[in-house]
Amino acid sequence: MTTRELVTELMRDNLNESNSGLARIAQQDERCTVSERQIRAMASSIRGGTTSSHMPNPAATSSVKNNLKTETITDNSKELSYKGTKSIQSLEEAIDFFKIDTDVWAVTSWTANSWDAGAKTNYQVKLKLNRIAGEVDPVKLESLFNAYDASVRKVKARKVKGSGTGVAVLSDFHIGAKVQDMMQTDDFSYDVVVDRLKQAATHINRLNYQKVEVAMLGDFIETFTGLNHMNSWQQLEYGGYGANVTIIAYNILRDFLAQIDNLATVHIVSGNHDRTTIKADIDSHGGVAQILAYMLEQTGLNIEFNHALLSKDIDGVQYIFTHNHLGLSKNDMVQTFWEYGVQGKYNVMLGGHWHSRRGKTQYKKIDDIHWDQANYRAISVAPIFTGNWYSESNGWSSTSGITILENNGDGRPNVFDFTLV
């Protein structure tokens, strides 16, 4: 309790006492910590400068000079502050004092304090406000979307005469990685990715398909956080992480897809490097791949996306696209084909992840190039990115490539492997 509040209470309990009488009573109260002289002065101040026992009239108390300041920072935020003798000790009192419209403004922070200055008590309060977002005008919203659509660089369809359907499969782009001066591993950079994808588009177009389906099997970027692996940050392009590398990846992939003749659909799945977090259990879906899928769809491309797996009939062959880092591609292949394939068709599972044309079985032994049975096959496709210090130090290396498949006319796939340099 402040001195002013104590004196006010005593005045209410002792209506006929003079200021001197109140001072003597106050001295006997254990809550009083000031002298009789200060009590008399305080009582006089409260009564409007008189020494009588009468309470002040409203005009006398309202004549106290206040220092009120309102500072508008932007249209959507402002700060309010007050210093004076008016008691403001709660947020509700502050809102009432400043006449804040709580339907328009939200208080994001506030502070209040007080101190005795001789015979009076000073109060200070500060508030920060943010404008509450109102309902969006549907007409304005539509206008914004139209402006956005107009600003997006659309991919123009390249229509040429051709025959048959081709399925072009690429994986492990690792855009943002920077590799150089390794003993066994090729140099890698933004320019290398662009050049290899240009080669890939050339191989696709030379086959002169009437319809081209492209599957991109994840690991579009090296890292979003810079710490997918503890040493990821050591081999990155300048700014090759976060939103920056996502935008760069979008531009590279869009320009690659714009080079392909008779492009029909782009099938996209996520890889383990596409997560937006350090640990996989926080973003197990690979958010970057989903962002890229959305961005590419805005350019007018026909996009199909799933974070784990896509199963699609293309020209009479059932294709199963996945990255290969999830359990469904590491467990019993018969079970995976039964659950995600189509009985009565030839099923092909295509994945990346290993940065090699060879795969690994669940027993951790190196297997053949693919699992090949009478009615299904699992293929580990070549990567765009061939490795870094981590892979070379473990004895892993590969060449870059693209895999293209087509129906052989009997419902089974012909598989073409093109090496990229």
CATH H superfamily, domain 160-420 = Metallo-dependent phosphatases (3.60.21.10)
Amino acid at 2: T
Angle, helix 287-297 to helix 242-257, in steps of 10 degrees:
50
Angle, helix 242-257 to helix 190-206, in steps of 10 degrees:
20
250, 274 in Cβ contact below 8 A? no
157, 204 in Cβ contact below 8 A? no
Kindly give the confidence (pLDDT) of every residue in the chain, 421 residues in length, as a single tens digit, with 9 standing for 90 and above. 777 788 888 887 887 777 777 788 888 888 888 888 778 777 766 765 433 334 443 333 333 345 666 666 666 788 888 888 888 888 888 888 888 888 788 898 989 888 887 778 888 889 888 887 665 566 766 776 677 666 677 888 899 999 999 999 999 999 999 999 888 889 999 999 999 999 999 999 999 999 999 999 999 999 998 877 666 777 888 888 898 999 999 999 999 999 999 999 999 999 999 998 877 777 778 999 999 999 999 999 999 999 999 999 999 999 999 998 887 777 677 778 888 889 999 999 999 998 888 644 444 444 444 467 888 899 999 999 998 888 888 888 889 999 999 999 999 999 999 999 9
Of 415, 302, 294, nearest to 349 (Cα)? Answer: 415
158, 255 in Cβ contact below 8 A? no
Strands (E), 227-346: 263-269, 303-306, 309-314, 317-322
Tell how far CA 99 is from the center of its chain: 37
Q: Integer distance in angstroms from the first to the last C-alpha of the chain?
A: 81
Tell how far CA 113 is from the center of its chain: 39
* Predicted local distance difference test score (pLDDT) of residue 99: 86
* Predicted local distance difference test score (pLDDT) of residue 257: 97
pTM (2 decimals)?
Answer: 0.63
324, 354 in Cβ contact below 8 A? yes
Q: CA-to-CA distance for 175 and 194, rounded, in angstroms?
A: 10
Angle, helix 3-13 to helix 36-46, in steps of 10 degrees:
70
222, 177 in Cβ contact below 8 A? yes
